[in-house]
Structure 1
Amino acid sequence: MKGAKIIMQIKKRPVIWNRSYPTHSNKQMVAAAWRAIKKVLKISVKKLKEEWKDMNEKHLQELIKEIKYKAKCGRKRDSKWANYKLMDFMKKELLPRTCTCQQKKRAIAKKRNNTKMVRRKEVTTTVRHREKEEYS
Structure 2
Amino acid sequence: MKRDAYRILQATETVIYLFAGFLIAAGAAILLLTTLLEGVENLVAGRYHEVALTLLDRVLLALMLAEILYTLVRFAREGSLEATPFLIIGIIAAVRRVLVLTAEAVEKFDLSDPAFMAVLAELGLLALLVVAFALAIRLVKSLEGR
Question: Larger RCO: Structure 1 or Structure 2 (Cα < 8 Å, ≥ 6 residues apart)?
Answer: 2
Question: TM over 0.5: same fold?
Answer: no
Higher-helix-fraction structure: 2
TM-score category of the 2 structures, normalised to the smaller one: under 0.3
TM-score by length of 2: 0.26
TM-score by length of 1: 0.27
